[in-house]
Amino acid sequence: TDLPRSPPAAAEPRHASPAAPRRLREKLRTAARMAGPPAHTAPGSRLQVQGGERRAQPATGAPPARETRAPFRFDYERFRRSLRHPVRGRRPGEDPETRARRMKIKEMMKFAWDNYKQYALGKNELRPLTKNGHIGNMFGGLRGATVVDALDTLYIMELEEEFQEAKKWVEKSFDLNVNGEASLFEVNIRYIGGLLAAYYLTGEEVFKSKALELGEKLLPAFNTPTGIPRGVINLGRQDTRSLFSPCSGMSWSWGWASAGSSILAEFGTLHLEFLHLSELSGNPVMNIRKVLNRVEKPQGLYPNFLSPVTGNWVQHHVSIGGLGDSFYEYLIKSWLMSDKKDSEAKKMYDDALEAIERHLVKKSAGGLTYIAEWRGGILDHKMGHLACFSGGMIALGAEHAGEERKQHYVNLAAEITNTCHESYARSDTKLGPEAFRFDAGSEAMATRLSERYYILRPEVVESYMYMWRLTHDPKYRQWGWEVVKALEKHCRVEAGFSGIRDVYTTTPTHDNMQQSFFLAETLKYLYLLFCEDDVLSLDDWVFNTEAHPLPVNHTNFKA
């Protein structure tokens, strides 16, 4: 679904670019240049490098200016040799039922992709009822969100022909020379994450060059007094002539965000992807953590809104669901991605989880454990579908807690995952609502009409996948299979999969949207639930918040 937009007129004056983004910009430009040219240039022109900028020049007989060697090269072959497991696993003998269920999920992915390709290729998402494409306003003129989101899922599922179709579209049709306002968060997790994952899985240079070129376009969002980025970025061409012009490279905050603030889940969900942009370009990434470490945390909690100008909290609303969710996820995952060397991220995660457990984790009268929301000290006893990722996150962190705490966190993760399962089990469709509450005698059910919908979200099956990998309790596979059957019964339509408007009726109305994250996340996590543990092993890979696998940094791969 589209997010509200803030008009360009609402943008505040730009501030001088911090040194780190400027250095990274130059490195990204060079690395993108050496990795390969963009797919689109104007007819009759060529790209010429002048003073670190890329500008279209009229074609002449003279050869283009060219650097003879890259100052930095990532050694892909060495990286692949460092992996502890084959990307797609070794596939030892397995029981026929598990294989049949995995093949069913693969068929669902092929069905979703084939219909997108037939009716909406090049658009961002498929509208399966009307059999056309949807562009939306989150991506600043970028197209093909479903293509980029689907790349790694197609590859992992060994849908080779479909993967080549997607790769060909990226090579021939994915145009980055767009001019529009985009969500920094969404472009980062879907496009940057998807392109990086596709590169690391395949070694195809086109994915790396596109990721680096697009990463450069996101950097003006960091041009704030604190280095905390604003939420919206204009993706127009950015060179030194236009960097401060009103129509290019400008950023601003969401119009609905409190007092021009940046959102915790958005600026806190950049580290994994930008770390890998740095890895591939050879330049250190900017780090927003020093601001977060400095600012006072009420009760040890991180509120959802922070001023990018002052670096102070704007209001004290705390949520593990929307607005806050993936910030916490990226703390533990930053530590894992660093091969457990990023002790700062681990300490921030441990401290945050301790505060969450102390203030937000509650148990209902019926014995269900849930994570409430906190509004200036007053608890709101609801849990969003988005917060259901937390079972998997806590399980992932539990693996690396001290022995005395490990079982405690495994139990907490299992209890929260069970609560999220109950939100599915208590609906007529066996799919969960957007939010569910624990008040007025109702437990794990939506009590408001506006919260009854299901838009193919992945967070519950994400936690099933992690809980399966970490406990091998067969109930998680059974719960995942219940979701597969519900999706087939209630969300599959003639030309794809659609969200539904009310999970509490067995004849639901469809919302006519096949979300790109359904292919990136929901189907990938379901597929991995029925795979052996060495397929995208957690020893080698960390999933970004769009389920794009990024590698654990076992060593330095500078060539």
Point out the catalytic residue in the list 186, 273, 511, 540. 186
> What's the half-sphere exposure (Cβ side, CA atoms, 13 Å) at 502?
10
Beta carbons within 8 Å of 166's beta carbon, 6+ residues apart: 113, 147, 150, 151, 154
Please identify which of the residues 149, 325, 329, 511 carries the catalytic annotation: 325
Question: Quick check: is 494 catalytic?
Answer: no
Residue 325 designated active-site: yes
Q: DSSP code of 63?
A: P
Of 149, 216, 373, 434, the active-site residue reads 434
- Alpha carbon distance 141, 233 (integer Å): 11
Q: 125, 273, 459, 540: which is the annotated catalytic residue?
A: 459
Query: What angle do helix axes 160-173 and 193-202 make, rounded to 10 degrees?
Result: 120
Dist. CA 434–CA 446, nearest whole Å: 8
The structure tokens listed for 21 are 């983004």
Q: Cβ(277)–Cβ(285) under 8 Å?
A: yes
Distance CA 248, CA 241 (A): 10
Rg for the chain, CA atoms, rounded: 23
Is 161 labeled as catalytic in the residue annotation? no
Query: Are the C-beta atoms of residues 137 and 187 closer than 8 Å to each other?
Result: no
Rounded to an integer, what distance in angstroms lies between the CA atom of residue 508 and that of residue 552? 42
Structure tokens at 317: 């609303």
Number of other CB atoms surrounding residue 422 within 10 Å: 19
What b-and-e string marks burial along 210-239, b requiring 16 or more CB atoms within 10 Å of the CB? bbbbbbbbbbbbbbbebbbbbbbbbbbbbe
Q: Is 462 in the active site?
A: no
Using CA atoms, how far apart are residues 421 and 254, in angstroms rounded to an integer? 33
Task: For residue 120, count other CB atoms closer than 10 A to its CB.
Answer: 24
Q: Establish whether 545 is an annotated binding residue.
A: yes
Q: Which residues are annotated as a binding site?
A: 545
Catalytic residue numbers, as ranges? 186, 325, 434, 459
Q: Which residues are annotated as a binding site for Ca(2+)?
A: 545
